[in-house]
Amino acid sequence: MKDIIEGRVWVLGEDVDTDQIIGGKYLTIIDPEELKKHVFEIALPEFAKGAKRGDIVVAGINFGSGSSREHAPQALRAIGTGAVVADSFARIFYRNSINLGLPTVEAAGVRAIFEMGDPARIEMRAGRITNLRTGASVTFPPLPHHLLELLEVGGLVEKVRLELEARRGGAPA
């Protein structure tokens, strides 16, 4: 995880639930490369074709509510999303994203300071998000140590891998 994340933003509304991120009919797809073609099909149809690696998703309150489908953050990660920022998140989406190593930042008031396509800078440790076009910024409480550590090693798979390795006393693979 980088401490400073910069990218162009895509702005979504409030209460974007998992059905709007990735529809029920795509849930049998396992390949993230295939999944990413359908991301935000309902909420923001231009995204799947137009998004570039490093782009930042900015949303209102309760982003990712609804089901536990990890397809939602997986599709966002596959498309190369640099970070997901929202006024607030639904619980399982938030956990899933962090576990996948996708920087996820809850910052109340963030949606109001961005318009589609604005350049953004996120300072993960300092806890600040700035609109580089307007200069407006909001602050957020930096993630707890435990979660920063998870993002730093690249997600839960890596973290458990290291733990199991340490337990076996084996050399790193």
Partner 1 sequence: MSTNGGHGGTLAEKVLARASRLDSVVPGQIIEGHVDLAMMHEQGAQTVGPFHDMGATSVWDPDRVVIAIDHWVPASTEGAAVLHRILRKFAAEQNLTHFYDVGNHGICHQILAENGWVVPGDLAVGTDSHTNMLGASGAVAAGIGPTEMAAVLALGRLWLKVPPTIRINVKGNLGPGVTAKDLVLRILGDVKTTGATYKAVEYGGPTIEGLSMPERFTICNMTTEMGAKCGMVAPDQKTYDYLEKIAKHAMHPIQADKDAKYERVIDIDVDGMPPMIACPYSPDNVRPLTEVVHEHVKVDQAFLGSCTNARIEDLREGAALMRGHKVHAGVRFIVSPASTAIYNQCLKEGLIDVFTEAGAVFTNSSCSACFGGNMGILAPDEVCISSSNRNFPGRMGPKEARIYLVSPAAVVASAIKGEISDPREFGL
112-144 b/e (C-beta count within 10 Å ≥ 16 → b):
ebbeeebebebbbeeeebbbeeeeebbebeebe
Helices (H) and strands (E) in the chain, counts: 7, 7
Rounded to a whole number of angstroms, the minimum distance from the CB of residue 17 to partner 1 is 5
Cβ nearer to partner 1, comparing 46 with 163: 163
Cβ nearer to partner 1, comparing 135 with 145: 145
DSSP 102-143: --EEE-TT-GGG--TT-EEEEETTTTEEEETTT--EEE-PPP
Cβ nearer to partner 1, comparing 20 with 130: 20
Give the contacts of 161 (CB within 8 A, at least 6 positions apart). 173
Rounded to a whole number of angstroms, the minimum distance from the CB of residue 116 to partner 1 is 20
Contacts with partner 1, residue ranges (CB under 8 A): 15, 17, 19-20, 23-25, 27-30, 42, 61-62, 65-70, 73, 88-92, 95-96, 99-100, 144, 146, 155-157, 159-161, 163-165, 173
Cβ nearer to partner 1, comparing 76 with 100: 100
Rounded to a whole number of angstroms, the minimum distance from the CB of residue 57 to partner 1 is 18
Beta bridge partners of 120: 7, 131
Rounded to a whole number of angstroms, the minimum distance from the CB of residue 46 to partner 1 is 16
